[in-house]
Structure 1
Amino acid sequence: MILSQKYPFSSFHLHRMDSKYPADAVAAAKSLQTFTFIYASMATFWLYDYACSIREEGIFLLCSRWSRVKFLYVVARYVPFLLFAAHLYLNFVPDETSNTCQFVNNICSTLSLISIVCSECFFILRTYALWNNDKVVLAAMLSTFAAVIVGSMVALFSATATAPFETSSIPGITGCYQSSGSVRLFVPFLLLFGLELMLISLTLTCAIRNWRATDSRLYVVILKHNVFYYACGLFFSAVNVLTSLLLNYAYSGMFQDFQFIIHAILATRMHLHLWHADCNRNRSAMDLTSLSQLAPAPHIESV
């Protein structure tokens, strides 16, 4: 009932309006509805994840010292709120113009780039630590990462500048999409796919070389986090490359920001888990030290 009030022409109505509106208009309207539903679902999922981890996050923000990694965490965690606000405004406010769509979309593209850069920086730093702070590995990762950022910016903003935005000609359907020329939007995800492939290769190489040489639990946790993160990145990058090349209307970009949100959730969640695990390990070591001051040595050894 609510959906039918917000969108007077639901999918059922659009099927019955085929004779009144051109097929392209109906297809575009359906794509805009799907796009809006996906963004509303993503916003709900993001808020749910935030509510589930708010206690652990509060402890981290209050108790951890400020550092570059903590700054990355704050940016990666809270920039998506701005991204959702801008996109939901664009999807729900009626009577958009092409200029308004282009302006808000540029803001969204900037926020998306900031989010994915912060998320990737987490795992570049982790990979650097896994390689024992090897400067050559760091230089290779940073140079590749810089090339990905520059290439993505050029592809995103040039596509936005040359591809016109259109709105639905069917009354009651809000939102806008790029009608043509947006095929080059696959380029950032292809570049990101290459970066993820490079990073997962470095992680697996390090794991194979050092698997028998270390028994650190945190080392194993970092390896598992990195591999899972890069596997998700490779999968979503491939999906976005295919949708950008094969689908039309708003369908072509419906999973683009979804990837950035998943990256932000994984990066911040994994960092919280690692920080709390490290704190628990340090706390256990402190407890053992305090206990050793109170108990005889043979008892400690048996403990």
Structure 2
Amino acid sequence: MDNPPPTSAVWEVQILAYAQIALFAFFLCEYIHLLPSEIKDIWFSRWNGRLCIINLIYIICRYTPFINFALTVYELSVSLIDGRHCRSLGLFASWICLIELECAQFAFFLRVYALWQDNRVVKLSLTILTSCLLGAGFLLQALNAHSPAARGDSFIPSCASISPGDNSVRSALWGMVAMVIFDSILMLMAIIAKFKFNYQFNSNSLAKKVYQDTIYYFILNFFIGIAAILISEKSPGPLRQLSGGLGPVATPCLACRVLLRLKQYKETGTTTVEVTDNPMRFGQNPRFRSDETFVDSSLR
């Protein structure tokens, strides 16, 4: 049978609704937990130059999930009168997700770039890599916009009953795979930076804090991407839509923590980052780098 029995389809939509509520509860707890730091380090901080970039990216990553959750509630509650209306609503939500995910990835880009101390080759490589990810995201989204959606079950009066078409599922899957590859490359570059520059990781070293945070966040984001891929591949019917909700919630949350840490290091750093006397390329052979210079390199 091509269509599941009514009881199975209704159960899947109910599970989808409960899972979306759980994701929103997680996001809301995370938002409340970081709100004091956000008020101090974002809203009451300087909005000029490089710091303005961090502030803008943070706001996009932090507040676009509210738009997505509002759209999700509407999709789960609106009557299925016109399938094209639901399709347009889903496309709009997917564009919002793409924007917030690209901004979140840029936050991870800044963290890795800080470890490489303004290395020009790495700067160019990361820029090309990020541009490729951005272009791939918009290309897959454009393909998704021109692919037809599969008609849902008429006995479920909700937009959630319209499951994505095969082309949409493949586009979303390739997008998630691309992001996992991108995160893996960034994590590898962060590990290489540790050995290339031979950071002496003292207990209070800024380099140690930045490096540990980088690896921690990349590992979490890597498993989030893998989980989204598995959900997309293994879940039936409407439950596939969970793969599109996990990443746009968890990844921006991690990115917000990354950006807040960068701001805190920028404004409160007082320790010294030590490097060895081994020659460094491009004429850089510093014995010491101040914390402010180290963090500033992530914003150039």
- Residue 28 in 1 paired to residue 9 in 2? yes
Query: Map of 1:1-303 to 2, 5 A cutoff?
Result: 23-66=4-47, 67-171=52-156, 175-178=160-163, 180-181=165-166, 182-184=168-170, 185-213=172-200, 215=202, 217-281=205-269
Q: Encode CA deviations 1:218-267: one digit per residue, 9 max, x unaligned.
A: 22121122112211222122222233233331122313221221111111
Conserved? CA contact 1:96–1:176, under 8 Å: no
Shift of 1:124: 0.6
Shift of 1:188: 0.2
TM-score (norm 2): 0.78
- 1-structure distance, mates of 2:96, 2:83: 20
Q: Encode CA deviations 1:162-203: one digit per residue, 9 max, x unaligned.
A: 231434333566623325413302100111111011100000
Amino acid at match of 1:229: Y
Residue segments in structure 2 that go unaligned for 5+ positions in a row: 272-300
Conserved? CA contact 1:31–1:249, under 8 Å: yes
- 2-structure distance, mates of 1:158, 1:108: 15
Change (3 A) 1:174 1:163: closer
- 2-structure distance, mates of 1:193, 1:104: 27
Shift of 1:132: 0.9
- 2-structure distance, mates of 1:141, 1:171: 46
Amino acid at match of 1:183: V
Q: Which one has a larger percent helix, Structure 1 or Structure 2? A: 1
Q: Percent identity?
A: 18
- 2-structure distance, mates of 1:122, 1:171: 40
Shift of 1:110: 0.9
Conserved? CA contact 1:229–1:263, under 8 Å: no
For the aligned residue pairs, the C-alpha RMSD in angstroms reads: 2.4
Conserved? CA contact 2:78–2:158, under 8 Å: no
- Indicate the structure (1 or 2) with the bigger Cα radius of gyration: 1
Q: Encode CA deviations 1:10-59: one digit per residue, 9 max, x unaligned.
A: xxxxxxxxxxxx73443332222221111122122222222222222111
Q: Encode CA deviations 1:88-143: one digit per residue, 9 max, x unaligned.
A: 21112223521111111111111111111111111211211211111211221222
SS in 1 for 2:146: helix
TM-score (norm 1): 0.78
Residue segments in structure 1 that go unaligned for 5+ positions in a row: 1-21, 284-303
